[in-house]
Amino acid sequence: MTGPDESERAPANFVVRALTTWVATVVRHPVATLLLVAALTAASLFHSSRTVRMNSDVSTLLSQEEPFRRDYNDYVAAFPQLADTTLIVVTSNSLDQANDAIVRLRDALAQRPDLIATVYAPGSEEFFRDHALLYLDPQALNRVIEGLAEAQPALAALAVDESLRGLFGQLEVALDNLEDGEAAPGVVRLADLVSGAAESLLAGKPRKIAWADEFVRNDGEIYRLLIVQGQTDFDERIPSRRLIDGIREVVKELGLTADSDVRVRLTGTVPLLHDEQVALQQGLTLAVLISVVLLTALLYFGVRSLPIIAGTLASILVSLTWTTSFAMIAVGEFNVISAAFAVLLIGLGDDFALHVGLRCEDESRRGTPVRTTLVRAAAGVGGAISLCALTSAIGFLSYVPTRYHALADLGIISAGGMFISLIVSFTVFPAVLALIPSWSARDGETNVTSSLIDQLPMRYPGAVIAVSAVLTVAAIAATSQVRFDFSNLSMRDPESESMTTLRDVQAQGFATDYAAIVLAPDLASSVELGARLAALPQVASVETPFDHVPADQAAKLELIDDAAFFLEPALYPTFEKTPPDASERLAALTTLKDRIAALPPQRGDAVAQQAIRRLGQALEGVAGGADPMGRVGELESLVISDLGTRMDWLREALEVEPIEFADLPEGVRTRLVAADGRARIAVVPRGDMSDVDELSSFAAAVATIAPHATGRPAVEMGIGGLVVASFQLAIVLALSMVSVLLLVVLRDVADALMLLIPITMAALFTTAIGVLIGMPFNMSNVVVIPLVLGLGVDTGIHLVLRFRESGSMAEMVASSTPRAAVLSALTTLAAYSSLSVSGHLGMRSLGVLLSIAMVCLMFTSLIVLPAVIVARQKWVDRGKKGQTWVAGAKRDAA
């Protein structure tokens, strides 16, 4: 199709000439060049270390001008206490311990104004402790009242005589009933409590009775929350690390470690972001290491020329350093997505060096000296590489005009990186190679690649094209099922503490991450607005500020009144006995235990009998050992423990009056009603919000009543819409600009079209495979398709240009080009797949999808494209034959 002289039509002649001149200069002064590069690199390292920043705030990945962002910012401005919070979740089986831990934590954190801006412990306000009974649901409250009724005799006896003597006196009365064959309610519980305390004493691990747990029984674990906002003037790589480390330090100092009865975990916006950052950075560091190792291994097996490997690695390291500096100058910070540039650069940056290096090898087989081969190689591949650099940059830059800033940043950084790689490949690489005196090329190496290309596309081009056509149609059908997952949460490591704690807290009903937030103009209107929202079929429940006031107060107050009534002797004893001395105490115990021992076995309540006997045995143990008087004294302190404090609480709790919204503590009110009077309504969805259709249905429904509703559903819908629009725009841009560029450079419509085939096919196949394996597009991996369109054309360019240069497929196939193409594709694949080890799910999906794309590209570029080239060649030749025949026929006719 094109002969050797047609290489004059090779793209951008002046570029090739410039490159050749440049390489020639470098090769003449390799040492000086390398020294200069080293100095620049050192300067760049210094600059980067001073300026490099990571912005992990996902909310800034998109424009702040978007309506959904404005609504969200408006909400945060109205309720600043709700932004950037850290939720400290304290759990314990003991009410006492949980409450105690929260109070200590709150006080300790309040003493660190350098670290903490605000601390809020919602459940621990005095108000909620005093009104605890009103906040119970009616059934739970009734159970508490019944429990108090059971305990009344014991409590009253203790109020008069707060000692073991008083308690045991009451137990003797209970025994009277037992002897009459009747039960006394509450005796089992009481006996078990005392038995437990006594047994723990005898076992050497004395345990106090926790009266708080007795008064208000809790099933399962107690949860207490502390909401903290940190000081925000930190300037650091991992955000809020100081805050989180500081909190953990305080927790440790308070002794709330893993082996205590209290568990402390962190979740909330700040820890979630922090954990995501950690996962991201760890994943990236690991990915960079893995890709460098894989790269070196591949180069070693593929090239086996130490100078080339050394030169390539040096080029990559220099490119990375310079690009980092460039990034800080051009963009100013890395974000969650653009930080992946390093891996992309490792994968792509070596391509240039490889093509130059293997071309060198080719040339060196003809025995030319190294320096000449380098210049010749530059001339040979310079055009192709420049074009590749351009198309790659276009692929990256196709995101810049979109509204998805984070990817635009990645685009700018990577595009800059492409050009930097180009320069470096033609500077560092030749300089390194020029240092070696002679070249030892490998001979007799079986060219795996050429045999592959040889076999399939060369021999059966028709079959290959037919199969690909079928696959393409299938792929198009599959892409109709493509899904987008906009959720931020789905990108995070699900096993991190912040994520597991979040799920736990949501399951307990303390927080609903997926509620829509609606701001009513004022408190009064929030009721009606809430009712209208609650009527929507997609809404499960609605919470207005008034829902923080307990319901059914009249009924509950009646129950509370009852308890206050029959507990009167316990709460307000008419007289008190003087505390017993040690011998009186012992006497009381002895009397009781003897009484128990003398109890005849009998009919009646078997459970009570057993409890009493257990108590008798425990008391025998206490009285029997050494120093019984001392032991009894210890037992008393275990049993009585903090009863007095609890009775104080009970007195308060039973005296409550009805409360309304204005009575709530200020901390609660200000989190429900903003300073400007707007009231916050939380709308909980009914459906599964990880299903995009249900999410959009819910968000749309809420928006019909409250157009400025915000919260996760609205934000995610906004993000999703924006990402999809950006995605579509980027694809169109990438495809059109690549096409235009190819046309301009190749000056042949047919060639340009041919080069579009492998990339569009690969894009389709990648999307289809993503659908098949159930991997949706998310905020991270949505960059893959435009990248494929921009980057994927490289291999094709190399093949087509080499083919033009040599004029024959056979020669092209035997040249270094296919081998370089395969090798560079493999190294790129290795680099991309290294992203898959990240704990960050977004990065992981990016790695997986990129790897899939690479494999598809390899297939379409190395098998389908050559087949198309061969087929076209045959068709053209047949045409030429026909023309000659026609010309001949015309001549004959004339």
Partner 1 sequence: MVLATGSAASGGVDSAVESSGVAAPTAVAAAVACDGVAPQSASCVIESLHRLLAKVTAGPELSFEERCDALTPGVVAAFDVDFMALKSLGPHGGKLSDADRRRWVDAFARFTAATYARRLGGSRGRGFEILEERPARKDTVLVRGQVVGSDKAPVSIDYRMHQVGGAWKIVDVYANGTISQLALRRAEVASLLDKMSFEEAVVYVEDVAKVP
Q: Site residues for partner 1, window 114-173 (CB under 8 A)?
A: 138, 142, 145-146, 148-150, 152-153, 156-157, 159-160, 173
CB 568 to partner 1: min, Å: 7
Q: Which of 15, 25, 846, 829 is nearest to 388 (CA)?
A: 15
CB 281 to partner 1: min, Å: 57
Using CB under 8 A as the binding criterion, the count of chain residues that bind partner 1 stands at 38
Q: Contact region for partner 1 (CB under 8 A) — 342-350, 384-392, 566-574, 743-751?
A: 566-574
- Which residue number, 569 or 621, has a Cβ lying nearer to partner 1? 569
Strand partners, 681: 518
CB 842 to partner 1: min, Å: 53
Tokens of 829: 């694949």
Q: Which of 862, 811, 861, 742 is nearest to 2 (CA)?
A: 811
One of 350, 363, 485, 605 touching partner 1 (CB under 8 A): 605
Return d(Cα 356, Cα 783) in angstroms, integer: 29
Q: Contact region for partner 1 (CB under 8 A) — 83-91, 267-275, 552-560, 835-843?
A: 552-560
CB 154 to partner 1: min, Å: 9
Residue 578 binding partner 1, by CB under 8 A: no
CB 137 to partner 1: min, Å: 12
CB 157 to partner 1: min, Å: 6
Return d(Cα 894, Cα 162) in angstroms, integer: 134
Q: How far is CA 463 from CA 292, 433, 458, 864, in A?
A: 38, 43, 11, 10
Residues in the chain: 894
- Which residue number, 214 or 620, has a Cβ lying nearer to partner 1? 214
Look up tokens 């931020």; give the residue: 488
One of 122, 196, 569, 776 touching partner 1 (CB under 8 A): 569
- Which residue number, 145 or 244, has a Cβ lying nearer to partner 1? 145
3-state secondary structure 661-717: HHHCCHHHHCCCECCCCCEEEEEEECCCCCCHHHHHHHHHHHHHHCCCCEEHHHHHH
Residue 229: phi and psi, rounded to 5, are -120, 130
CB 623 to partner 1: min, Å: 25
- Which residue number, 164 or 850, has a Cβ lying nearer to partner 1? 164
One of 574, 666, 890, 894 touching partner 1 (CB under 8 A): 574
CB 186 to partner 1: min, Å: 7
One of 213, 497, 504, 568 touching partner 1 (CB under 8 A): 568
Return d(Cα 784, Cα 291) in angstroms, integer: 18
One of 410, 559, 615, 784 touching partner 1 (CB under 8 A): 559
Can you tell me whether residue 109 is helix, strand or coil? helix
Q: Contact region for partner 1 (CB under 8 A) — 78-86, 564-572, 645-653, 845-853?
A: 564-572
Contact string (CB under 8 A) for partner 1, positions 631-650, x = contact: --------------------
- Which residue number, 453 or 570, has a Cβ lying nearer to partner 1? 570
CB 227 to partner 1: min, Å: 35
Can you tell me whether residue 267 is helix, strand or coil? strand
Residue 354 binding partner 1, by CB under 8 A: no
Straight-line distance from the first to the last Cα atom of the chain, in angstroms, rounded to the nearest whole number: 29
CB 652 to partner 1: min, Å: 15
- Which residue number, 150 or 513, has a Cβ lying nearer to partner 1? 150
- Which residue number, 83 or 183, has a Cβ lying nearer to partner 1? 183
Can you tell me whether residue 468 is helix, strand or coil? helix
Residue 560 binding partner 1, by CB under 8 A: no
- Which residue number, 188 or 308, has a Cβ lying nearer to partner 1? 188
Tokens of 570: 């316990």
Q: Contact region for partner 1 (CB under 8 A) — 4-12, 340-348, 562-570, 853-861?
A: 562-570
Per the CB < 8 A criterion, the answer to whether 254 and 106 are in contact is: no
Contact string (CB under 8 A) for partner 1, positions 494-513, x = contact: --------------------
CB 782 to partner 1: min, Å: 57
- Which residue number, 184 or 689, has a Cβ lying nearer to partner 1? 184
CB 198 to partner 1: min, Å: 24
CB 162 to partner 1: min, Å: 13
Residue 454 binding partner 1, by CB under 8 A: no
Q: Contact region for partner 1 (CB under 8 A) — 118-126, 551-559, 591-599, 616-624?
A: 551-559
Helix (H) or strand (E) holding 224: strand 222-230
Return d(Cα 433, Cα 371) in angstroms, integer: 8
- Which residue number, 625 or 644, has a Cβ lying nearer to partner 1? 644
The separation between CA 718 and the C-alpha centre of its own chain, rounded to angstroms, equals: 19
Per the CB < 8 A criterion, the answer to whether 694 and 703 are in contact is: no
**Which residues neighbour 604 within 8 Å (Cβ) at sequence distance 6 or greater?**
178, 181, 182, 183
Q: Contact region for partner 1 (CB under 8 A) — 85-93, 103-111, 563-571, 814-822?
A: 563-571
CB 595 to partner 1: min, Å: 14
One of 226, 370, 567, 588 touching partner 1 (CB under 8 A): 567
Q: How many CB atoms lie within 10 A of CB 570?
A: 21
Per the CB < 8 A criterion, the answer to whether 333 and 53 are in contact is: yes
Residue 182 binding partner 1, by CB under 8 A: yes
- Torsion angle in degrees (nearest 10) through CA of 742, 748, 754, 760: 30
Residue 681: phi and psi, rounded to 5, are -120, 130
Could you please report the per-residue DSSP string of 825-893?
HHHHHHHHHGGGG-SSHHHHHHHHHHHHHHHHHHHIIIIIHHHHHHHHHHHHHHHHHHHHHHHHHHHHH
Residue 881: phi and psi, rounded to 5, are -60, -45
3-state secondary structure 551-597: CCHHHHHHHHHHHHHHCHHHHCCCCCCCCCCHHHHHHHHHHHHHHHH
Q: Contact region for partner 1 (CB under 8 A) — 102-110, 177-185, 387-395, 831-839?
A: 177-185
Return d(Cα 645, Cα 637) in angstroms, integer: 14
CB 61 to partner 1: min, Å: 54
Return d(Cα 756, Cα 516) in angstroms, integer: 45
- Which residue number, 94 or 142, has a Cβ lying nearer to partner 1? 142
One of 186, 307, 395, 866 touching partner 1 (CB under 8 A): 186
Binding footprint of partner 1 on the chain (CB under 8 A): 138, 142, 145-146, 148-150, 152-153, 156-157, 159-160, 173-174, 176-177, 180-186, 555, 558-559, 562, 565-570, 572-574, 605
